[in-house]
Amino acid sequence: MQPSQTAHSASKRWGGIFDVEGLRRKLDGLNDRSQREGFWDDPNKARALMSERADVEQSLSNYDKLFAEIRDQTELLEMAEAEDDQSVIADVAKQLDLMERRMREVELARMLSGPQDRADAIVTISPGAGGIDAQDWAEILMRMYIRWCERKGFKTEIVNLQPGDDAGIKDVSFTVSGPYAYGFLRAENGVHRLIRISPFDSNARRHTGFAAVLVVPDLGDATDEVEIKPEDLKVDTYRSGGAGGQHINKTESAVRLTHIPTGIVVACQSERSQHKNRSTAMKMLAGRLFEKARQEREAEFAQNYTSGQLAISFGSQVRSYTLQPYTLVKDERTEHKATNAQNVLDGDLDEFIEAYLLKAADERETREKGEKKGTGSN
């Protein structure tokens, strides 16, 4: 593509990324709400609104700066082409490449503009149909996400792990701490399918295994955003297994919480203190309930839940990983593909995550526009 075509393409694409007037109206509305009497009566809601306002202000600032640069470079390029000044044309082409990268960064910021996207994350992986292959697949997924976290510089901590009977894991939950951990990892919510020659089949036949990945925000001290009534909880304590020495096994320090209305169950056994494990389990439960409510608001996810659990079987997968007879990883939601499956399993997930987040951001903006039109017509 010629530099002039690149410039006009960038400008057009940039205009398509942002509903600038919509953002300015949104900022005006947020400013108006922040100045109302009693705004700080609910500190959590007030902080959430101020954070949202800061995000909108930053988005508008990024737009204004980058659009001005694109305009200036386009004008300079047109003059250079009229005078056939190749040195200036080459310099502008380099600047346009830099602006394309900056556009991608701002586009990513738009994708991570949800109310909890800045939060840390809690990831739970559960095997489904496929027996021992599914349990092994759940452990492979755990390793994949931990390696992705290492690449991002995120910190992980396993809070609950149940080993499989012969291989793999029956269930694992771990926390992920880092900027926008939940915002990125929410792209991984759903059922993941593995197709391979089973290492557990003496006849070397091809098997399919399923595992569900559930990512929820770590609400931290803001767990009161989700109402959890004491009478809706069933609390069980038990002796934890795994690391921790004799002490951790001799005391009932592990905690399992069952939310009776939804059937959601969470457990934590990472600490020697029952109190700390209960506190972590409450965060996990609050995150699960928050995520369930979010997904139910978005109709595309509502049917995936039955008593808070995903259907982990054929036809429900969001991504398929084929290792034999060929290698291919395909996201069923975005159609994004990668032929080097091993790289993906080693944590190379950014392209899959970004493809999903871009699609989700477009759908969110379309939905918000529709809601505004519906409100305006009433």
155 pLDDT more than 80: yes
Question: Which residue, among 21, 17, 15, 18, has the nearest Cα to 74 in the 3D structure?
Answer: 15
* 313 and 169 co-located in one domain: yes
* 134 and 256 co-located in one domain: yes
311 pLDDT more than 60: no
* 84 and 157 co-located in one domain: no
375 part of a folded domain? no
Residue 358 in tokens: 């871009």
What CATH number is attached to the domain comprising 56? Answer: 1.20.58.410
CA gap 101, 79 in Å, rounded: 24
Among 82, 111, 140, the domain-final residue is 111
Tell whether pTM > 0.95.
no
242 part of a folded domain? yes
Q: Which SS3 state, helix, strand or coil, does residue 124 take?
A: strand
Among 111, 128, 149, the domain-final residue is 111
CA gap 302, 213 in Å, rounded: 16
370 part of a folded domain? no
Among 54, 80, 111, the domain-final residue is 111
Supply the mean pLDDT for the chain. 80
* 66 and 172 co-located in one domain: no
Cβ atoms of 303 and 235 closer than 8 Å: no
* 90 and 125 co-located in one domain: no
What CATH number is attached to the domain comprising 128? Answer: 3.30.70.1660
256 part of a folded domain? yes
* 20 and 92 co-located in one domain: yes
* 244 and 325 co-located in one domain: yes
* 82 and 131 co-located in one domain: no
E-strand spans in the chain?
120-127, 155-163, 169-177, 190-197, 206-218, 233-238, 254-259, 264-268, 305-306, 309-310, 317-322, 328-331, 337-338
Cβ atoms of 293 and 284 closer than 8 Å: no
Cis peptide before 163 (omega within 30 of 0): no
Q: pLDDT-based confidence at 302, cuts 50/70/90?
A: very low
pLDDT of residue 371: 56
For the residues of 225-251, what is the DSSP string, one character each? GS---GGGEEEEEE---SSSHHHHHHS
Residue 220 in tokens: 């931290």
Only one residue has tokens 């089949």, namely 201
Cβ atoms of 82 and 74 closer than 8 Å: no
In tens, the pLDDT along 37-68 reads: 999 988 878 887 888 788 788 778 877 887 78
Residue % of the chain over a pLDDT of 70: 80
Q: pLDDT-based confidence at 241, cuts 50/70/90?
A: low
* 245 and 218 co-located in one domain: yes
| 140, 141, 147, 148: CA torsion to nearest 10 | 160
Domain housing 19? 3-111
276 part of a folded domain? yes
pLDDT of residue 307: 39
β-pairing verdict for 169-177 and 120-127:
antiparallel
368 part of a folded domain? no
* 92 and 162 co-located in one domain: no
Number of domains in the chain: 2
Question: Which residue, among 298, 296, 238, 287, has the nearest Cα to 259 in the 3D structure?
Answer: 287
Which amino acid does the sequence have at 243?
A: A
* 280 and 341 co-located in one domain: yes
pLDDT of residue 309: 47
Q: pLDDT-based confidence at 367, cuts 50/70/90?
A: low
378 part of a folded domain? no
β-pairing verdict for 317-322 and 328-331:
antiparallel
Burial of 284-301, coded b for 16+ CB within 10 Å and e otherwise, reads bbbbbbbbbebbeeeeeb
* 154 and 248 co-located in one domain: yes
β-pairing verdict for 317-322 and 190-197:
parallel
253 part of a folded domain? yes
